[in-house]
Amino acid sequence: MRLFLDTANIDHIRHGVKLGVITGVTTNPSLVSKEGKVDYKHLVQEICSIVPGPVSTEVLSQDVSGMVAEARQIATWAENVVVKIPASLEGVEATHQLAKENIKVNFTLCFSLNQALLGALAGAAFVSPFVGRLDDIGEHGMRLVKEIVEVFKKYPDSIKTQLIAASIRHPQHCIEAAEAGAQIATVPYQVLMQMIRHPLTDIGISRFLEDWHKVMGEGKSI
């Protein structure tokens, strides 16, 4: 399983990559807007230069020709850029056109197995089921991840699309995405920070140091 960071914040991306656990990034118009009134192309190019793997960034058009035109432009920004196309009917057609041009698509805003299937069949490199947003309306977001993983697994010859578990809200989502067999989970920075924390680890570190210093003397290191 791989971990991506779901943010457009440069400091957070630098930190995640430095930790050695973040191999990709996903952004969306809301996340980019959080960074203020930025130069979109410049920001995406900077992210792409920091991150070793795919960086997904979204089109704004909703019609096929607009999406395709924007995607073609975005695809020239960096080698590792991936274009996010929404899971609409127009999005399916745009994905198909872009896949024929070898432009990598992340089929985003997926809320059903059928949407994920159509994205995969149209040639998307990634599909992104939004777990948290399904939970928000009383559905079981992770169940969708499991379903997609199971169905894609049945067709290894025809479906090469990877699943990105998205809209991750807490560390338990990461555990469940890993258990479900998601190839990737894209996590907010705050969730990444929460993933490493455990009170027993903090207590354990303090206790080891206390015991050491009691015998070896205060401030004595290795």
Q: Which residues bind ligand E4P (CB under 6 A)?
A: 6, 26, 28, 31, 108, 128, 130, 132-133, 166-167, 186
Instruction: Name the phi and psi angles at 168, rounded to 5.
Output: -85, 130
What Rg value do the Cα atoms of the chain yield, rounded? 20
CB of 191 to ligand E4P, least distance (A): 10
Q: Which is nearer to ligand E4P, 28 or 162 (CB)?
A: 28
CB of 186 to ligand E4P, least distance (A): 5
CA distance 188 to 89: 28
Q: Give the start-end residues of each E strand in 105-150.
A: 105-110, 126-129
CB of 32 to ligand E4P, least distance (A): 10
Q: Which is nearer to ligand E4P, 93 or 135 (CB)?
A: 135
Q: Which is nearer to ligand E4P, 9 or 28 (CB)?
A: 28
Q: Which is nearer to ligand E4P, 9 or 167 (CB)?
A: 167
**Catalytic site includes residue 84:** yes
CB of 37 to ligand E4P, least distance (A): 20
107: closest CA among 124, 94, 90, 132? Answer: 124
- Cβ neighbours for 62, distance < 8 A, ≥ 6 positions apart: 86, 88, 90
Residue that the structure tokens 């559905």 belong to: 139
Burial class of residue 68 (count of CB atoms within 10 Å of its CB; 0-12, 13-18, 19+): buried
List the catalytic residue out of 18, 34, 84, 153: 84
Which residues are known catalytic residues? Answer: 84
